[in-house]
Structure 1
Amino acid sequence: MKKKITILGGLLVLQAFLILAISFRSEGLQSHQGMQALLDFNREQVDRILVADGEQRSELKRSGDSWTTAEGFPVEADRVDRLLDRLKELQHGLAVAQTEASLKRFKLSDDEFERRVELYADGKQVASLTLGSGAGARRSHVRAGDGKEIYAVALGSYDLPADIAQWQDKTLLQLEADQVEAVRIGDLTVRKEVVAAEPAEATEGEEASSEAEPETTWVAEGLSEEQSFDADKFESELKRLLTLRYTRAASDAGLPEAIEPVNTITLELADGETRSYEVYHEDVADEHWLKVSDRKEYFEISSYLGGRFGEHLAADKLIEVNGSMAEDTATSAEEEDASESAVEEDRAGSETANHGADEAKADES
């Protein structure tokens, strides 16, 4: 009996030794091999990018120093640059797996994957990467090209959106305030006036300033003595229009042929040009769209912005007659501040929704 116990004890010691030996050998190989670049390409030569998720596909093309969609619509160049930098910097150690069965298990097969990105230069594919199941927080299993080696790298599906709307330049419609000289809303015309400000009074021990920044005011034309113009509200709504970030741009909004805009806003610009915004509300889908005169696309906007541009940036909301709007001024201001805060939170949430969903999905995987 004692002999058997001795033999079993010896086998356990031998097994433990073998486990340690294999562990040290693996660490030695990892240290010896080190980290290597996952993809080999010249990022400056990349002129076309394809990103797909099995259902959608985004195609981006370089146009000089900028990037556009396949149809020529401007995209956010900084985001493209960040993607190329991220792909170029990806490194890997030892493979997690490298069998055909593993490709399906880690969602890296040709017919089942989370994302696939392909990089091209002069019509030739220079790199491709398939992204599969999550490998922990902000990490995913990937394989490069047609290889079967599976690695875990710091990359998430949220870094590779297949929805083209997430690549579109959301600042495309923005204007500087000094570019606008006048605004026409229906029969109402509001014109900018620049008034020289009085020099600031001298304080003790200092001389009065001879220079003062001019003040800009907005004046409604053609008002009667019984009418007054809410300049503060107008400036607030105009600022919202000039700093607009739309949700997505589309060649066709799918609006009914007979639909009429709920409001039309025309800007007279300092360079002599004009820009008109037609505001549409599609009741069935409850979607809000803008048609801008100097762009061929339609721009979807949030319901909040649709309400501001369609109802509040309007003559009947900006002109007071016999003080009829005076009672509502304080309440409207408070409601507007509350709505503004809610919209900022909603905007931040909507812009990170896909990021959060993909990250959560990666963690669950």
Structure 2
Amino acid sequence: MNKTISWLAILLAAQLALAAGLYWGSQGDNFEALGESLLTTDTSLADKLVFSSPDASVTLAKKSDAWSIPEYHDLPVNNEGLDTLLSKLGELQAGWPVANSSAAQARFEVAEDKFEKRMQLFRGDELLADIYVGTSPAYRRAHIRLAGSTDIFSVELNAHDVYVKNEEWLDKALLVVSDLNSVKGADYTLQKQDDAWSLVPEPVEDALPLNTDQVEKLADTLSGLRIQTASDSVDGEATMVSIGKATGDALDYALFQQGDDYWVKRSDQAVFFSITKSDFETLTQANLAWLTEEAPEVVAPAMPPAGMIPGGVQGGMPGGLPQGMSMEDLPPEVLEALRRQQQQR
């Protein structure tokens, strides 16, 4: 009897544990199913944002519906990334806190004096929201705490999307051109008409034709040029390239190299931008010869004379073959000569 009661007690405990697990699990990491918005303000009202970490800070400002970086030459912001972040903040669900003690604030790194990231949203001088972002409990989730509250929440937020450096928010596509129709270098001018590029003026009769691969590489580099960082000044001798567009004025590009850094200054911008070495080399090496040179001819490796395997090894020993070559790669007449040598031994 006692044994039966013990088994029933164990079974009941297991059922209760299972039911509790299903209940708590259905609520999500932070009871987000409750559906309460974490922020009480509309993030679209913000016109100034301050994102910071213990060792870096960036301020973004909104003017005439456009975001810029005032302390970084007032350059434009990557709007796609910022819009995604603000939308995500507006969708955060509060639910139940995972903790609310001072010790937990330090442990989850959402304390005033110990945090990973901090986001402050302003409208004018009014502080709309002040959010501390801390440790990550799971992939693309973060612990956060609102300033003035002790409650700590686990929410769907990637802390890596909260950039705290000027160059991280910079619009890397600032120099992208969508309607490129001419390119001028030191000794060439290219014109695009009906989706086809040609030299202007027309080349002489015996001139080499355009290498379309090289031309498209140059055009694609100019059209899709992406920047990395910005600087007030860069010294050195410049290589010049100019472009024309279907609409708007022509643009001049001055290209500089400083050690392992590569820079471009465009005529419609007040500052210099760093670019990749690959893009720099494409823009600076382009000249008439480069744009018209024929693709190099692929030369087959020289075949060995009859009776001798490359490398000076006699008698068909495969050790004398060049790397990557097998006996099957030899011409039939060489194979026949080797066969005869073997028969004579």
Which letter maps to 1:128?
D
Q: How does 1:240-251 map to 2 (within 5 A)?
A: 240-248=221-229, 250-251=230-231
Deviation string, structure 1 residues 216-270 (Cα, Å, up to 9, x no partner): 332243744553242512133112211222223x1336x4x3x112x21111334
- Opposite residue 287 of structure 1, the aligned amino acid is D
Within 5 Å, give how 1:1-365 maps onto structure 2: 34-70=34-70, 71-177=73-179, 179-180=180-181, 182-192=182-192, 194=193, 214=194, 216-221=196-201, 223-232=203-212, 233-248=214-229, 250-252=230-232, 255=234, 257=235, 259-261=236-238, 263-271=239-247, 273-283=249-259, 286-311=260-285, 313-319=286-292, 325-326=293-294, 328=296
Which whole-Å CA distance do the structure 1 matches of 2:118 and 2:295 have between them? 58
Contact 1:57/1:162 (8 A) holds in 2:
yes
The Cα offsets for residues 63-110 of structure 1, whole Å up to 9 and x where unpaired, read as: 222211124211122222211110011012222111111111111122
SS, match of residue 172 in structure 1: coil
Cα distance per residue 1:144-180 (max 9 Å; x no partner): 1232211111112122111222322222211123x43
* Alignment deviations for residues 11-51 of structure 1 (CA, whole Å, 9 cap, x no partner): x99xx79x97xx69x96xx7899342211112231111111
Greater CA deviation, 54-63 or 227-236? 227-236
Quote the Cα distance in structure 1 between the aligned partners of 2:125 and 2:50: 12
Tell me if structure 2 keeps the 8 A contact 1:45–1:121.
yes
Name stretches of at least 5 consecutive residues in structure 2 with no aligned partner.
300-345
- 1:215 deviates by 5.3
Distance 1:78 1:329, change over 3 A: farther
AA matched with 2:289: D
In structure 1, the gaps of 5 or more residues are 195-213, 320-324, 332-365
RMSD value over aligned CA atoms? 3.7
Using a 3 Å threshold, how does the CA distance of structure 1 residues 293 and 122 change in structure 2: closer, same or farther?
same
Distance 1:305 1:40, change over 3 A: same
- The structure with the larger Rg is 2
Residues in 2 aligned to 1:102 and 1:32: alpha-carbon distance in whole angstroms: 20
**Contact persistence 1:251–1:296 (CA under 8 A):** no
Does structure 2 conserve the Cα–Cα contact (< 8 Å) formed by 1:279 and 1:306?
yes
- Look up the equivalent residue of 2:62 and give its one-letter code: R
Does the 8 A contact of 1:277 with 1:293 survive in 2?
yes
Shift of 1:271: 4.4
TM-score normalised to structure 2 length:
0.72
Cα gap change, 1:329 to 1:49, in 2 (>3 Å): farther
Q: 1:134 is paired with a residue of what secondary structure?
A: coil
Q: Distance in 2 between matches of 1:172 and 1:63?
A: 18
SS of aligned partner of 2:135: strand
Equivalent-residue separation in structure 2 for 1:92 and 1:265 (angstroms): 54
Distance 1:316 1:217 in 2: 16
Distance in 1 of aligned mates of 2:151 and 2:248: 60
Between the aligned partners of 1:32 and 1:73, the Cα distance in structure 2 is 37
8 Å CA contact 2:176, 2:223 repeated in 1: yes
For CA contacts below 8 A with separation 6 or more, give which structure has more relative contact order.
1
Distance, in Å, in 2 between the alignment partners of 1:315 and 1:32 is 63
Distance 2:177 2:147 in 1: 43
CA distance in 2, matches of 1:175, 1:116: 35
Number of residue pairs the alignment of both structures matches: 291
The answer (yes or no) to whether the contact 2:110–2:132 under 8 Å persists in 1 is yes
Higher helix fraction (1 or 2): 1
CA distance in 1, matches of 2:78, 2:294: 44
Q: How far apart are 1:292 and its partner, in Å? A: 0.8
Relative to structure 1, the CA distance from residue 53 to residue 277 in structure 2 (aligned partners, 3 Å threshold; closer, same or farther) is same
TM-score normalized with structure 1 length: 0.69
Distance in 1 of aligned mates of 2:59 and 2:189: 43
Q: Sequence identity of aligned pairs in percent?
A: 24
